[in-house]
Structure 1
Amino acid sequence: MLSFFMFAKAYSQQPADLANPLVATTKPRFDFFAAASLPYGMIALSPDTHHGDLWSAGYRYNDPYILNFSHIHNAQTAGIPVMPVTGACKALQGLEASRAKLDHTTEIAKAGYHKILLPDYGITAELTASQRVGFHRYTFPAAKEAHIIMDLTAALGPVNMVKGYAKKVSGNEIEGYSVNAPTFRRKKNCTVYFVARFSKPFDKINFWKSATDSTKELVNADFTDDKKAGLYASYYNLHEGEQISMQVGVSFVSIENARMNLEKEMPDWNFEAAVARAKTAWNDYLGRIEVSGGTRKQQVKFYTDLMHTAIGRRLTEDVNGEYTDNTGPKPVVRKIPLTASGKPTYHFLDADGLWGSHWNLNILWSMVYPESGNDVATTFLDYYYNTGIMGRTSWGGQECWVMVGDQTVPLMAALIQTHRATFNTEDAFKGAYKNAFPGGTRDRGGYEAGPSPKGGGIDWYLKYGYVPIEIRDRGDGYNRGGASMTLEYAYQDWCIANMASILNKQKYRPEFLQRAGYWKNIFDSSTGYTRPKDTLGKWLTPFEAIGTKRGVNHATPGFIESNASIYSYYVPQDVKGLIKAMGGNDVFIKRLSADFESAVSSGFAAEHGEHYAARVDYDNEPGCHLAHLFSHAGAPWLTQYWVRQVKENTFGDTTSFAGYRGDEDQGQMGALSALMSVGLFDVQGLADVNPTLEITSPIFDKIIFHLPGKKTFVIQTSTPSGKDNTYIQSATLNGKSWKSFELPFSEFARGGSMKIDLGPTPNKAWGTSLGSVKQTITKK
């Protein structure tokens, strides 16, 4: 593992100190904020200030009160709230009754640690975590009575609870569980088990249950098992400064496994040692990319971005490798193989889908975090083994069919093409092939979980060569935009063709290459836009490339969370063909430039929910590649300019108000922002045979990528003193002149160094004179 003594010279702080979990927390998703956590850890222990939905819940910086601290913060699973109080206990009245003012005066939030004062009670709360255990330390004032509340059936974020159970095990230990009710996205129950230990034996333990539909009552027993269940541990006559710690082991499998997780990961009550372990874990993760130069603000945002790539998806297996498969009639416990040292060989993740991740996470994972990308790929491959269909979403051990298509294929293709894949590639191809026909995941529209899905339209795609507009009225799923589906399926088919090529399955390649060209079937040359068609082959009329009124799912008819203006650029598998269809380089550049000029005042992002009206929208996945397209039309200096504008105006802030626009979406926008910072990208998502990285201008003076195999790739920049560093003037690779905007991934992966001279004016000769590196290396 990487040592971090080198940071002492470059920084006054390490990456874990620079990352700021409070960035953009004014109106975040429930799963957005995580300080007391580890990379990809099951636990995200943090304060909750608002519940009731996914899109604006959890820890919101400007809310007036803290309602509780809870341990699970995923898009569709939640659990185990805790709240310390002094004075008379009001736990039976709900979370609001025990709330405390949210006070930022002495707050500290860092990667792996959170400290905050609850002024109403005079309690200082400190939080940290291991992968599967939350560690609380509460410093109390002098108090005649104090209580630690666990409301096990309180609604948390987007999740209601069906029931809760808790039992006193000893004078300082409680065990139990909370049952997450189904949500719109997750159709079945999900149980979160726990074992909680207290550093000081409680003086009394009180359990409650429901008395009526709206009231609760204490029970005269050492347990509760009810639809309204909870407990509070009471302490009397605490002295000033007395500390009580609490450790909560969690499992999605069983109480026994929660106890095993607790005993394995938190062997003692040394809080400072636990914080140090968490910080080391974050430094190991964040330090895979080491930067120097730029401004401190840019460094803070960079490591905040990288932190976000590791908090949107969370492991669900226990220390013994067991996880819950909840895809069948009843839950089944399965087990991941263990390493020689007794650790799971991969993580089974609670993960949103990968819609659009080919323009952010897939690239970053392939470059420096291949184990993370492989964990995601293997999780969805496990669904193939468990259900016969390779998955695209995993919440609570269930396949939830988020968004559309087969989003796992571009990730698998990228890992295979970059030689980073550790999963079974033969089985991955079998799963991808099955999903590309009726009977696979492309049968299903968004969240369509029924036994006879029709909302994905893969049968129509094969019949007509596109998914017609009528798909909006077929099936019971969401996100049924036929034009968007056609474009996404065509890109995914191209990924399968490339998988076939490298896996020596050439007989499959021609069919999927033909399907990769289906984008042409819905490109209307008379308008220059992708345009929905019906089953008779007629264009949708009337047609708006940019919407004037909100349609279904924030989109214009036939599209998903976007419009024709943006989706018309969604042809990563054939960018040259798209440019030609739009009129050639000059026409393409003029059109795309006008799109970007129109978006300056909006910060290059639509307000969330208004995607239908945008021409450039870095608030959402379908347009994450737009600025990089200029390079492919022969104008890499315009890519350099607009990437820098988007980086600074859309993703550059580090306040609680901004830093990400709209839906950060489980690390995708963090990954995109990080890639813009280091000046590397790939419009094709590294899914091509012999993939390349596209070079833009980095914002840092020096970047060291720590690669697998103990290799490094170093980028150094130089800029005339006091000058703008937007434009590339010249570059060298390992001491030799480099004039292409494309860098073979193989050159990056073997390690080396690149020097880039930057300046304030475009060098329109750089990046254009060598033609396509991709073509050159393909011919070799």
Structure 2
Amino acid sequence: MRGILVLLFFSLWANGQQPADLANPLVNVTKPRFDFFAAAALPYGMVALSPDTHHGDLWNAGYRYNDEFILNFSHIHNAQTAGIPVMPVTGICKALQGLEASRSKLNHQGEIAKPGYHKIILQDYGITAELTASQRAGFHRYTFPAAKEAHVIIDLTAALGPVKMVKGYARKISATEIEGYSVNAPTFRRKKNCTVYFFARFSKPFDTINFWKSSDTDSSAKTLTNVELTDDRQAGVYASYYNLQKGEQVMLQVGISFVSMENARMNLDKEMPDWNFEQAVAKGKKEWNNYLGRIEVNGGTRKQQVKFYTDLMHTAIGRRMTEDVNGAYTDNTGSSPVVRYIPLTSKGVPSYHFLDADGLWGSHWNLNILWSMVYPEYGNDLANTFLAYYQNSGTMGRTSWGGQECWVMVGDQTVPLLTALLQTNRATFDKELAFKGAYKNAFPGGTRDRAGYEAGPIGKGGGIDWYLKYGYVPIEIRDRGDGYNRGGAAMTLEYAYQDWCIANMASTLNKKNYSPEFMQRAGYWKNIFDSSLGYVRPKDTLGHWLTPFEPIGSKAGVNHATPGFIESNAAIYSYYVPQDVKGLIRVMGGDNAFVKRLNTDFESAIPSGFAAEHGLHFAARVDYDNQPGCHLAHLFSYAGTPWLTQYWVRQVKEATFSDTTVSAGYRGDEDQGQMGALSTLMAIGLFDVQGLADVNPTLEITSPIFDKIVFHLPGGKTFIIQTNYPKGKDNTYIQSVHLNGKSWNSFELPFKTFTNGGSMTINLGPTPNKKWGTMLEELSLLASNKKVE
């Protein structure tokens, strides 16, 4: 799929704005995560070149729109890796005094931020900074005022975002070239060092070059060296220019690598062979249009289109490649780093991307669905990344930062992705290897041994041994091991869903002898469902219910959760049974009782905008700020009331995810594209509570917000959704659906029908049609393997 849609895309958008013109990187950047903002970057690119206005943590760093000063422009903005800050200045150089000394007022006048390009003015220096990027290199263009002296500073040991630096190194190669590296110190999440290498090339020979290191007499101070080389725990370099004319430009290209300085230069040479800045910007826009244009929308308001393509953009900036153009990447799972190589295709490019990724906790309700539908190669990239961890270290991973497994959150989050790609026939990874990795992780000795961020040679906080012994993870897990997120009831529910995924993998891979055991384990959720209260409730090792018990917390517990849960509570986690929604409905009292209860939950969440403030997850009944409840509005369809799914999905979309201002748009933790993907699915009116992990997966139909949606699918096929509704009236409710010209009365659409290409017409209106979506005869064709025309 990479690169094949460009001509088609441009012909479709020749008469209007292209998606890259509509996507807005400045949405919700008042208080972002360090890895949230990206303009000068490509989809999944190693380099995300952007201004930084604040450093110090993950949750509130990087480019913050309302800050007063710009500190630097840096090239790496991942959740746990950072590197190579650059700052152009005029006047006396203050590089040795730290980033704050060279800061400039942040002025938004004249600012342009679009996918692939960022322009911003450094007010204190009169410098116009323009930024763009290839996959593995950053491209700066600085337009200076008349200046007696000007400098370009590269501080290699400055703390960036959540990362401090151990040391830095730089040396002069020529009058226009510098190379070096920064060593990222360990963080709470990433336990080992990580080195970011660079090769920098200037368009104009510098008049002088200066390096600094720790002072020989005061290790806390910096001093200039007399040699063209520095290697120290306080290291940096600045290139100086004298007597610049007004409007004179200095350009800088910086290649990046996680392997070596030689590879950083190779990446730069391969991806930026000339100094044509406008052409680099055009290439970036073309790549973004190719990515965003796989889903083409028409109609709706301009605000809705801006938010839609902004959401899609976010799905491509949270996970970033770390392999070089020759396929080399650093495996840091052992006692020392090892350079390994991804096989190259016949075109000489890596056959997949080795990604830096903040895990997949909850992605079965957002990214897994979107990847399987339209972007399978990126889902396969992540699958292959974690399978490489299995080959390199013996355990299939769930996180990837700096070539290291960091054990984010809990469980085996990779399994639902592997299963979704497998069941939708999108998998290009080694299926046998995937099943072996999933099987190992489902028993002691695998990833489920470990709670969140639990390192060390042996994990205890995951409780998989207790899960197998008791049929649930008991509440005592909170006192076992040294990890985080040790919520036994939540673990039980997540493990049961993951076991169901493995059972389905086994069935599809003709390993049916494995399926019964995992299907039995998929029912372990019933072991912690207290039918007397109607809630999932933690148990201890003796089988006693947790007492006292609050479905909704009255005060904050560990990690924003009530006892036994993870970043949530029993009120939300009690609905976490995607593998057996009908069974859940039965134990909750049947369709009517289930609908009444869930509807009451949503009505109570209207004042909060259906999202708890970050840190208050324990107190919510509905919480679209966080992963455990991303499916709630779609559950009504399973209880015979799809019109309520249509209503509440639209309400959540509008209240939680519709804003396009700098201060709102995601209502909390966007979490590497997950909420962007969820918002995208709500906008196009397709979802799947089971995360497309069933043996015969389906897409659930809700009300799209656009008049026409064209999906450009792998293999050159298209699927088109056309909506009709009375103009000027509300279009929340589905009145009728026609699939490939024939009436369709089920809320579920077979995934195979979608991928085969075709069309669906949805007639919408202001009042519910309570007869639509409750008939299942179409889906019975799946059981008989008949094709739905």
What residue is the counterpart of 1:216 in the other structure? Answer: 222
- Residue in 2 that maps onto 1:777: 782
Q: How does 1:132-211 map to 2 (within 5 A)?
A: 132-211=136-215
- Per the normalisation by structure 1, the TM-score is 0.99
- How many Å apart are 1:779 and its aligned residue? 4.6
Displacement of 1:531 in angstroms is 0.2
Say which of 113, 121, 127 aligns to 1:117. 121
Alignment correspondent of 1:128: 132
Tell me the alpha carbon deviations over residues 591-637 of structure 1, each in whole angstroms, 9 at most, x when there is no partner. 00000000001000000011000000000000000000000000000
Deviation (angstroms), 1:778: 3.0
- Asked if the contact 1:253–1:333 (Cα under 8 Å) also holds between the matched residues in 2, the reply is yes
SS in 1 for 2:522: helix
User: Structure 2: which amino acid aligns with 1:577?
Assistant: G
* Cα distance in 2 between the residues matched to 1:759 and 1:6: 32
SS at match of 1:638: helix
SS at match of 1:244: strand
Specify the alignment match of 2:737 in structure 1. Answer: 731
Cα distance in 1 for partners of 2:85, 2:68 equals: 19
Q: Structure 1 residue 6: deviation in Å?
A: 3.3
> Counterpart of 2:31 in structure 1: which amino acid?
K
Q: Which whole-Å CA distance do the structure 2 matches of 1:309 and 1:774 have between them?
A: 31
Cα RMSD for the two superposed structures: 0.8
- Verify the 8 A CA contact 1:180 1:190 in the aligned structure 2: yes
Report Cα offsets for 1:342-387 as digits up to 9, x if no partner.
Answer: 1000000011100000000000000000000000000000001001
Matches within 5 A, 1:160-559: 160-211=164-215, 212-559=218-565
Shift of 1:638: 0.3
Does 1:5 pair with 2:7?
no
User: Do the aligned residues in 2 keep the contact of 1:249 with 1:259 (CA within 8 Å)?
Assistant: yes
Separation in 2, partners of 1:15, 1:486 = 42
CA distance in 1 between partners of 2:373 and 2:661 (Å): 29
- CA separation in 2, counterparts of 1:309 and 1:376? 13
AA matched with 2:733: Y
1:532: Cα distance to partner?
Answer: 0.2
Q: Deviations over 1:663-691 (max 9, x none)?
A: 00000000000000000000000000110
Gaps of 5+ in 1: none
Report the AA paired with residue 513 of structure 1. M
Is contact 2:746–2:779 with CA below 8 Å preserved after alignment?
no
8 Å Cα contact 1:142/1:241 also seen in 2: yes
Aligned partners of 2:229 and 2:483: how far apart in 1? 42
> Residue 626 of structure 2 aligns with which residue?
620
> In structure 1, the residue corresponding to 2:513 is in which secondary structure?
helix
Q: Quote how far apart the aligned CAs of 1:213 are.
A: 3.5
- Equivalent-residue separation in structure 2 for 1:514 and 1:229 (angstroms): 58
The alpha carbon displacement at 1:770 in A equals: 2.9
Partner of 1:592: 598
Hey, what's the Cα distance between the residues in 1 that align with 2:299 and 2:561?
A: 41
Structure 2 counterpart of 1:656: 662
Aligned to 1:106: 110
Aligned-partner residue type, residue 344 of structure 1: P
- The alignment's TM-score, normalised by the length of structure 2, stands at 0.98
Whichever residue aligns with residue 652 of structure 2, its letter is: V
Q: Give the partner amino acid of 2:782.
A: I
Matched, 1:38 2:45: no
Q: Which runs of 5+ in 2 are unaligned?
A: none
C-alpha distance in structure 2 between counterparts of 1:100 and 1:778, whole Å: 65
Q: Secondary structure at the match of 2:705?
A: coil
Give the Å deviation of 1:777.
1.3
Partner SS state of residue 343, structure 1: coil
Paired residue for 1:646? 652
Residue 661 of structure 1, CA deviation? 1.0
The equivalent of 1:51 in structure 2 is 55
Report the alpha carbon displacement of residue 130 of structure 1 after superposing the two structures with TM: 0.2
Tell me how far 1:529 sits from its aligned partner.
0.3
Task: Name the counterpart of 1:27.
Answer: 31
- Aligned-partner Cα distance in 1 for 2:13–2:770: 39
Question: Take 1:673 and 1:695, find their aligned partners in 2: how far apart are those partners?
Answer: 15
**SS of the residue 1:102 aligns to:** strand
Tell me which residue corresponds to 2:641: 635
Deviations along 1:260-312, one digit per CA (max 9) or x if unpaired, are 00000000000000000000000000000000000000000000000000000
1:765 aligned residue (752, 771, 775): 771
How far the C-alpha of 1:452 sits from its partner, in A, is 1.6
- Any idea what SS the aligned residue of 1:686 has? coil
Q: Deviations over 1:457-476 (max 9, x none)?
A: 00000000000000000001
Q: What's the % identity of the aligned pairs?
A: 81
The total of aligned residue pairs comes to 778
CA deviation digits over 1:388-430, x for unaligned, max 9? 1100000000000100000000000000000000000011000
Name which of 674, 679, 682 aligns with 1:668.
674
Deviation at 1:341, TM superposition (A): 1.0
